[in-house]
Amino acid sequence: MPLASYIEGMKIQGRLALFSLCSCAISLSAFCQPSGRVLMIGIDGVRPDALQVAETPALDALVANGYASFDAMNDDITISGPGWSAIHCGVRSGKHNVVDNSFDGQNYFQFPGWLERLESLHPEWNTLSVCQWSPINGQIVGNSADVVVNTGSAAGAAQEVVNALENGDPHALFVHLDEPDYAGHSYGFSPSVLPYLESIEEMDAEVGLMVEALVARPMYAEENWLVIVTTDHGGIGTVHGGNSIEERRVFVIASGLGVDTELVAPDTLSVLGVAENCLGAMPRLFFQGNARAVVPEFNDFVVGATQDFTVECRVKTTQAADVAMVGNKDWDSGLNPGWVFSFVYPSGPGWKVNVSDGSSRVDLEGPPIADGEWHTLSCTFDRDGVARIYTDGVLSDEQDISGLGSLDVDGRLFFGADALAGYGMEGAVAEVRYWNAVLSAAEIADWHCSELTDFHPSLAALRGYWQLNEGAGDFLEDASGLGHHAVNEGGVWGSDEGLVVWDYGNTPRLVDVPVTALAHMCVTIEEEWGLDGVPLLGTCFPPTPDSCSEDLDGDGAVTVTDLLLVLGAFGQTCTE
Ligand SMILES: [Zn+2]
């Protein structure tokens, strides 16, 4: 029976006829295959906070018409090899076994990529993989896709996709654009680094070209396209690979005609219990971004090559990042002159003190303290002996600093960010004390959890004492009585009732990306595949009975086109 007769019959008989067509009419089997199609765009090394700052009209349009999260997670190794393996295979490194860019130990045989799964289930479908970073094709995709192309530029990669969409009949495409990662390594992964933002904007233009070609396809609506855009990792400073939130937070966009608009934020807020604070509950100054407090220039903070000194502070944070908590230096390099309280590079977990005279450096390492609780951090600098750091009054490390010369930048001090208002921390600082003497271990232990009083044995050596508990305004009193008052530049006053912590437990994971693609194409996700990801847009089942007799294309009548739309949708209507 010719197709037209079946369609005419169905028009009258509705859904039952539709199902019998699909299950019985062998000659029409092509129409019974789910026809959801996927364009997956991977952009290397894009921090979602930078993406949100950048001008990205094409990606904004996808977000406005789809599912998106700027709080998705690479919850594994923040390196491209493992990241793209998760995005293709839907499993973490414990299964795909790739832990770096050597791809050694890869287990893609047991956990193949999504294009390979598509090709083994539907060899008649047309698949394309275009990569600017060729190891994705070389190692993960292999020759599983029908067409595998490596290009030297993002523009070239996008052009390959545009060509395929304009002239071919692709069902699933993967394209990798590398330039933000390159910009991040060169200039810094940060929403405040212009060349990084510009590279993201350039990638957005390429996304725009591809989406334009996609929606221009004559059968665009019927083909039921899902556009997925994601990244493999973020970055901090000019690197990635660690566990900081800046490296782990990623974005996922899944946009298409049938996708409900939804923006997934960390949907549970947890507030840490009232942090242990032996100083009592009082207003606290919280720093975020590159907010900081500045102590203006005073000779008391100029130490030359010989002046002993001690710095103490209390800190409450959850982020063990490459930040400047308290210091006097430009933290762009550990070799810049001066000293700083930070974390072990690049993402802790231990805290550290770095000190340098401009040509050699010494680093002292302490235990993890980024747990949302208050901790007292102290460092004594005996200039012809050792520096010692103490955590909550207990000695953590000591190193010889007798070889270091002058540590001076100028006579200023900074809390919350560095001398150039960079490397900002996220958290609170309080009770900063500066002494021009080496405090004893006993003094540090005895006074680590109390405010200073006249009974402190070294009171005569106190040169600055900023409790940072004013509760309002930008004037930060020096309680030493010496008048070295500080100025708040952007720190926010809050209560000490506990630090609000975002819980990312319910936001998307990289491993969800390929499972979402497969589910959109109505591939049944088999338990035995052992995938770690879940489909973000739900799984497939047949459409509702009513859809057979609906005027889907809106031309005022139930016609052949409407029925073809139903056929196209059969089996792949995806709901939550
Ligand atoms: Zn990289």
C-alpha 243 – ligand 1 centre gap (Å): 14
C-alpha 84 – ligand 1 centre gap (Å): 12
**Is pLDDT of 570 > 50?**
no
242 and 371 belong to one structural domain: no
521 and 547 belong to one structural domain: no
C-alpha 53 – ligand 1 centre gap (Å): 20
C-alpha 203 – ligand 1 centre gap (Å): 16
184 and 81 belong to one structural domain: yes
Residue 203, domain extent: 37-266+504-529
Query: 7-16, 155-164, 414-423, 476-485: lowest mean pLDDT where?
Result: 7-16
- Mean pLDDT (whole number) for 344-351: 93
The span from the CA of 236 to the CA of 231, in Å, is: 15
- Mean pLDDT (whole number) for 260-289: 72
SS3 71: strand
The span from the CA of 55 to the CA of 372, in Å, is: 34
Query: 18-27, 43-52, 160-169, 556-565: lowest mean pLDDT where?
Result: 18-27
**Per-residue confidence (pLDDT) for residue 267, from 0 to 100:** 60
**Per-residue confidence (pLDDT) for residue 283, from 0 to 100:** 83
The span from the CA of 476 to the CA of 465, in Å, is: 10
C-alpha 10 – ligand 1 centre gap (Å): 55
Query: 177-181, 279-283, 430-434: lowest mean pLDDT where?
Result: 279-283
**Per-residue confidence (pLDDT) for residue 30, from 0 to 100:** 35
- Mean pLDDT (whole number) for 426-442: 96
Phi-psi region of 188 (alpha: psi -120 to 50; beta: other; left: phi over 0): left
132 and 60 belong to one structural domain: yes
C-alpha 135 – ligand 1 centre gap (Å): 13
- Mean pLDDT (whole number) for 421-428: 94
**Per-residue confidence (pLDDT) for residue 227, from 0 to 100:** 98
397 and 361 belong to one structural domain: yes
C-alpha 119 – ligand 1 centre gap (Å): 30
**pLDDT (tens digit, 9 = 90+) per residue, 185-205?**
999 999 889 999 999 999 999
**Per-residue confidence (pLDDT) for residue 371, from 0 to 100:** 86
C-alpha 95 – ligand 1 centre gap (Å): 22
SS3 59: helix
C-alpha 47 – ligand 1 centre gap (Å): 12
C-alpha 346 – ligand 1 centre gap (Å): 14
228 and 373 belong to one structural domain: no
Longest CA span, the chain? 103
**Per-residue confidence (pLDDT) for residue 494, from 0 to 100:** 80
**pLDDT (tens digit, 9 = 90+) per residue, 97-130?**
999 999 999 999 999 999 999 999 999 999 999 9
**Per-residue confidence (pLDDT) for residue 271, from 0 to 100:** 52
Phi, psi of 295 (to 5 degrees): -95, 120
C-alpha 99 – ligand 1 centre gap (Å): 14
E runs forming strands in 402-485: 413-415, 427-435, 462-466, 475-476
Q: Are 409 and 329 in contact (CB under 8 A)?
A: yes
- Asked if the structure places residue 259 within a domain, the reply is yes
What CATH number is associated with residue 497? Answer: 2.60.120.200
Enumerate the β-bridge partners of residue 476: 486
- Asked if the structure places residue 89 within a domain, the reply is yes
C-alpha 214 – ligand 1 centre gap (Å): 29
Closest CA to 225 of 173, 261, 154, 263: 173
69 and 210 belong to one structural domain: yes
Q: Are 107 and 97 in contact (CB under 8 A)?
A: yes
**pLDDT (tens digit, 9 = 90+) per residue, 18-36?**
333 333 333 333 333 446 9
C-alpha 233 – ligand 1 centre gap (Å): 8
pLDDT category at 557 given cuts 50, 70, 90 is low
The span from the CA of 280 to the CA of 269, in Å, is: 25
C-alpha 182 – ligand 1 centre gap (Å): 7
510 and 491 belong to one structural domain: no
**pLDDT (tens digit, 9 = 90+) per residue, 293-309?**
999 999 999 999 999 99
The span from the CA of 204 to the CA of 540, in Å, is: 30
Phi-psi region of 353 (alpha: psi -120 to 50; beta: other; left: phi over 0): beta
493 and 521 belong to one structural domain: no
What CATH number is associated with residue 194? Answer: 3.40.720.10
Sequence length of the chain is 576
**Is pLDDT of 553 > 70?**
no
The helix (H) or strand (E) run that includes residue 211 is: helix 194-215
C-alpha 543 – ligand 1 centre gap (Å): 43
C-alpha 85 – ligand 1 centre gap (Å): 14
CA distances from 348 to 50, 321, 363 (A): 23, 6, 13
Mean residue pLDDT of the chain comes to 87
452 and 481 belong to one structural domain: yes
- Asked if the structure places residue 275 within a domain, the reply is no
C-alpha 239 – ligand 1 centre gap (Å): 7
Q: Which has the higher per-residue pLDDT, 493 or 529?
A: 529
> Among the ranges 25-34, 305-314, 446-455, which has the highest mean pLDDT value?
305-314
Q: Quick one: what percent of the chain has pLDDT higher than 70?
A: 84
C-alpha 81 – ligand 1 centre gap (Å): 10
SS3 22: helix
- Asked if the structure places residue 3 within a domain, the reply is no
Domain total in the chain: 3
**Per-residue confidence (pLDDT) for residue 396, from 0 to 100:** 97
252 and 303 belong to one structural domain: no
C-alpha 6 – ligand 1 centre gap (Å): 55
C-alpha 181 – ligand 1 centre gap (Å): 5
167 and 119 belong to one structural domain: yes
The helix (H) or strand (E) run that includes residue 494 is: strand 492-494
**Per-residue confidence (pLDDT) for residue 575, from 0 to 100:** 37
E runs forming strands in 160-223: 172-177
